[in-house]
Amino acid sequence: MTAVILCGGSGTRLFPISRELMPKQFASLFEGDSLFQRTVKRNVPLCEKTLIVCNTEHYFLALDQLEAIGFEADRVLIEPVGRNTAPAIALAALCSSQDEPLLVVPSDHLIDDQDGRYVEAIKAAQKEALEGYLVAFGIKPTYPETGYGYIEARGNIVKAFKEKPNREQAQELIARDEVYWNSGMFCFTAGAYLQALAEHAPKLLEQIKAAFETAKIDEKTVRISREKMSAIDEISVDYAVMEKAKNIRVVSCAAKWSDMGSFESLYNELPKDDLGNAGKAIYIDSKNNLVIGSSRQISLIDCEDIMAIDASDALLIAKKGSGQKAREVVKALKAQGSELPKVHSIAHRPWGTYEILDTGDRFKIKRIVVKAGKRLSLQKHFRRNEHWIVVSGAAIVTLEDKVCQINANESIYIHAGCAHRLENQGKIDLVIIEAQVGDYLGEDDIVRIEDDFKRDQ
């Protein structure tokens, strides 16, 4: 069996922790592990092979996190743009033998399997999959959640899928015996899933096959072209297949489960003090609050059921129960042209990281760390000039056709339009301060001329 780990999604309901370039599945939320790392650890022992499906922007982030836990995926399927779960799973199926069972799991779920119930559910689903069924994993609901889909069943036979209900509908659903939350986890053979697409979404399957036929494939990666991926309709596996096919089964998974889709879900999983407060803060006459902080001291006085999420560049305060509305904040910020929904103040790149220290009218200050042996792309910008000051390490700098070394406490100036590259040939991190000045300082003002990591512009 192959574990297909889906790493798409931007987690807008967990803003400002989750951003497009560092979504919730890659954030270190639990004892230093990310949800992605925990997903890998949980599923790798159950399967012979592992296939990671991720966005181009997250590829090297995923590799770094896999390396940190001492694991290497058998293959990574790289999508330049996300088109939801139905195409992602189909592309994974095309990478696999037709009789190969696929265990499809999102990378942003939190599952506690101390009693082995998750393993039991996987084994039961694999048996059903080998008999030709498409298997969904159902979670017995414990409260009327409006953020999940539901599955109505009779025994292990699915009667209907229910989309996210309102509270009254959710209360009615959980009162029934054979109703489950739809976990978003599935098990089926590659051939059974592709056959279901051929029957219920033939146009979609044609689009997916056209993208796969032009993919760049090597031993470890499958890279889909942006043009072909963009031509695929965006649709979930539930809409495309699971709600239409007749050979659907459900396996009840009794393990403790959360899809970590809101700050309320996160609150439920964190340790709390005697008054129900979760997170490091000073609490004065306050109870049942959630605080996630950056480096600042946070104090709450006479607060109850408040969620305070403090990132270094954004602060979210919400009443508990309203966490789903964080996505509306993201929508408003995007309408303003803000980069906050896309990137944290600290952004991870395949060569290292950069941190935005300050920004204002016509200027931006960054702290850039380049890992040993890595280099940035040969690139140029049209609307900004850059001034680099080396803090530690030695920088090898390419400016057009000249190469020079800049040491600690030395600096260099890069004019707009000048092709340039920053490289660390040393054995320790290279740290520089970059001052940008120009009429536009967005991250998309870049033309990559040559790139070690095969990234698009």
Residue 253 main-chain phi, psi, to 5 deg: -110, 110
- Quick one: the chain helix, strand, coil %, rounded to 5? 25, 35, 40
The reported pLDDT for the residue numbered 456 is: 63
For residue 322, pLDDT beyond 70: yes
162 vs 98, 178, 242, CA distance in Å? 30, 13, 11
CATH topology for the 346-450 domain? Jelly Rolls (2.60.120)
pLDDT confidence of 457, banded at 50, 70, 90? Answer: very low
Residue at 215: amino acid letter:
A
- Kindly give the pairing relationship between strand 179-189 and strand 150-154: antiparallel
The reported pLDDT for the residue numbered 444 is: 87
Mean pLDDT, residues 49-55? 96
Place of tokens 């991250």: 443
Average of per-residue pLDDT values in the chain: 94
Mean pLDDT, residues 188-205? 98
Task: Answer whether CATH 3.90.550.10 is correct for domain 2-258.
Answer: yes
Question: Where in the chain are the domains?
Answer: 2-258, 265-325, 346-450
Q: CA 100 to CA 395: how far, in whole Å? A: 49
